[in-house]
Chain A
Amino acid sequence: EADIYQTPRYLVIGTGKKITLECSQTMGHDKMYWYQQDPGMELHLIHYSYGVNSTEKGDLSSESTVSRIRTEHFPLTLESARPSHTSQYLCASRPLAGVGQETQYFGPGTRLLVL
């Protein structure tokens, strides 16, 4: 099992604030992902990375940005939070190649509320 950590777990913040959601994994996985999920709804891919210095936008348009300076770290930043950003954000990872490359592991998620 991969260990993926997300902080904070819960965040309540005012409109216009800059926020960074942290995601780290300890298994050396190359592929990492950010999903946005409203309660009880499907997951939407907003960003992904296949390795250091590689970042791509996902299928759902998002005003957030990501960076991948280290293999284990994939933070997501919102420059100016708005109420429409209220959601749960889930980070995931999986190996680039080899045994188990097909299995995707998820972090516990960050629940964001923008007032």
Chain B
Amino acid sequence: GIQVEQSPPDLILQEGANSTLRCNFSDSVNNLQWFHQNPWGQLINLFYIPSGTKQNGRLSATTVATERYSLLYISSSQTTDSGVYFCAVESSNDYKLSFGAGTTVTVRA
């Protein structure tokens, strides 16, 4: 199956800092999503972005499908941004997402 690698595995930020999270995948995809899992375990969908660039407030994402990677940008980080960020991809219209191992982000006040 498709392999998904996320980096870095851990990220510690001071409040107000900017950061970039990366997701590499091993095959062409027709679906790529970014999720945020809060400290209570709830997963929230941030972006559906199989290609191109999207922005939502302080978060933005870019996927370069031809080079098989996606980036998630967090600007002016806040303590509420803490949690684990997962990238998930789907390669063959089988409606099954494969998840990366996640990036754990800790934002300190």
* Interface residue ranges, A against B (CB under 8 Å): 31, 33, 40-45, 48, 50, 58-59, 88, 90, 92, 94, 102-106, 108-109, 111
Contacts and interface: CB of A to CB of B under 8 A. Distances in A.
Contacts, number: 53
Interface of B: 1, 31, 33, 35, 40-45, 48, 50, 84, 86, 88, 95-102, 104
Contacts of A102: 31, 33, 48, 50
Given A40-B104, A105-B45, A109-B41, A31 B33 contact: no
Given A42-B101, A59-B98, A103-B45, 11 more contacts: A31-B95, A42-B99, A43-B99, A48-B95, A58-B96, A59-B1, A59-B96, A104-B88, A105-B45, A106-B35, A111-B41
B62 to A, nearest CB: 17
A44 B96 CA distance: 11
A96 to B, nearest CB: 8
Nearest to A37: B41
Contacts of B98: 59
Contacts of B99: 42-44
